[in-house]
Amino acid sequence: MRTWREMRRFPLAVQLLLVNQLGVNTGFYLLIPYLATHLTDNLGMSAAVVGIVLGVRNLSQQGMFILGGSASDRLGARGVIIAGCALRTVGFALFALGDDLAVLLAASVLSGLAGALFNPAVRTYIAQEADERKAEAFALFNVFATTGALIGPLLGSALLLVDFRTSALTAAGIFAALTVAQAMVLPAREVEPSKGTVLADWREVLGNRAFLAFALAMVGMFTLENQLYLLLPDGARQATGWDGAAGLVFLVGTVTNLALQLRITRALKERGNRARWIAWGLGLMAVAFLPPALVAGSSGNPALRTLPVLIGALLLYLGVMVAQPFVMELIPGFGRPELTGTYFGIFYVVSGIAAAVGNTAVGWAMDTGQRGDADWLPWACCALFGLASALGVAWLHRLGSLPTPSKPAAPAAT
């Protein structure tokens, strides 16, 4: 109830975008986690082809965030959000209706491009609309996103009892409803006419060394967040011998978010510099991987082996809850308000590429650990990623390179 009361204190546009994120994550996780199984088991595709289809989707999204950010600055975030949701509707419908590789590749491109459009646009709109209360707005955003990430897989599992096409069409229907809702309700914001070119905007953002250093420092946050869908569910399954144990990880996160996210953000906002809490949050994310490392590869009572994994999941979610709202709050402060979308877009491109490298390292550590009787290795690798990111943010703060809500960062040398 506290979450809903807090939500109603924001303008209608922010309320709609929070509900929108719940729907976006519900629709996404309803379909994408089961796509690889559909391509292999139902369509008989090879692992290599499946990798191409999934890789094209990831590349279309990660590589195109910069376009979504620039479009938000120049055309207005509202239209970009609506276009993104409409494209995702078409993309997910094609996954339901298409069986040949060409159609599936088109679906991957469209669904990836859709995410590249509305992800930076939504964050831009919230940052502009929330004004002095950005941290609280992004805290609520995190709550709704996490809840959707729990509802989606549960709903997807139920719909798969019918068939994959039913699941995909349901996901497409969710995005279609979001498209209509935003077209009808989301207010348009006036866009300042741009005085330069898109390339000049990109050069300005990429020339901001403090911003790029911050984006790279966030590699730990993005890499470790992704372990909520890779390493931690795998650890829960190995500890219990039950495939459904992965759902316990998401349940821990959703309950914790609903109960504590707003309280944590409000309490920390009034106590100390934002960069300090980002560094502490990243450090907590690093510590989260130590309890599972202690029982990795061990045998014995499944309950006793599962408990450290769930403790790790709880600590990881708490670390994200501490750091993420303040990360989102800081990004617009690195540059001109007219380039908020571009900053968000490039932030996700840089961090996404860096996190992809980090995930590759974690995957290598998982394989190496299993072959060499060192199951603790991927957990230790993640702890080191988090520690490196925490130290990176602390170092940037010490240099005075990071903005504060009241004072933008000093222009960086180019």
DSSP readout, 326-361?
HHHHHGGGGS-GGGHHHHHHHHHHHHHHHHHHHHHH
Question: Contact 339/73 with Cβ under 8 angstroms?
Answer: yes
Identify which of 141, 97, 368, 388 has the alpha carbon closest to the alpha carbon of residue 257. 141
Residue 3 predicted with pLDDT over 60:
yes
pLDDT at 371: 86
**371 burial type by CB count under 10 A (0-12 exposed, 13-18 middle, 19+ buried):** exposed
246 half-sphere exposure, CB direction, 13 A CA radius: 15
- Return d(Cα 85, Cα 28) in angstroms, integer: 11
**SS3 state of residue 94:** helix
Question: Contact 364/356 with Cβ under 8 angstroms?
Answer: no
Helix axes 47-62, 340-371, angle to 10 degrees: 150
pTM for the full predicted model: 0.89
Q: How confident is the model at residue 56 (pLDDT cuts 50, 70, 90)?
A: confident
Question: Contact 70/60 with Cβ under 8 angstroms?
Answer: no
Q: How confident is the model at residue 414 (pLDDT cuts 50, 70, 90)?
A: very low
Mean pLDDT over the full length of the chain: 88
Residue 407: phi and psi, rounded to 5, are: -140, 115
pLDDT at 254: 87
154 half-sphere exposure, CB direction, 13 A CA radius: 12
pLDDT at 243: 67
182 half-sphere exposure, CB direction, 13 A CA radius: 29
Over residues 93-98, mean pLDDT = 91
Residue 309 predicted with pLDDT over 80:
yes
- Return d(Cα 303, Cα 379) in angstroms, integer: 19
The structure tokens listed for 72 are 């938000």
Over residues 320-348, mean pLDDT = 94
- List, in sequence order, every residue forming a beta bridge with 404; answer none if it has no partner: 407
**SS3 state of residue 404:** strand
Over residues 188-201, mean pLDDT = 84
Residue 410 predicted with pLDDT over 60:
no
pLDDT at 68: 94
Over residues 110-115, mean pLDDT = 93
pLDDT at 406: 52
- List, in sequence order, every residue forming a beta bridge with 407; answer none if it has no partner: 404
Over residues 156-160, mean pLDDT = 87
Instruction: Provide the 8-state DSSP code for 279.
Output: H
Residue 4 predicted with pLDDT over 60:
yes
Identify which of 334, 321, 328 has the alpha carbon closest to the alpha carbon of residue 288. 321
Question: Contact 22/148 with Cβ under 8 angstroms?
Answer: yes
Spatial neighbors of 358 by CB under 8 A, at least 6 apart, are 219, 220, 222, 223, 385
Cα-only R_g, the chain: 21
Residue 55 predicted with pLDDT over 80:
no
- Return d(Cα 60, Cα 189) in angstroms, integer: 27
Residue 404: phi and psi, rounded to 5, are: -120, 165
pLDDT at 1: 58
Percent of the chain with pLDDT over 90: 56
Residue 349 predicted with pLDDT over 50:
yes
Question: Contact 402/215 with Cβ under 8 angstroms?
Answer: no
- Return d(Cα 208, Cα 205) in angstroms, integer: 5
- Return d(Cα 46, Cα 36) in angstroms, integer: 10
Over residues 138-160, mean pLDDT = 91
Percent of the chain with pLDDT over 70: 96
Q: How confident is the model at residue 148 (pLDDT cuts 50, 70, 90)?
A: very high
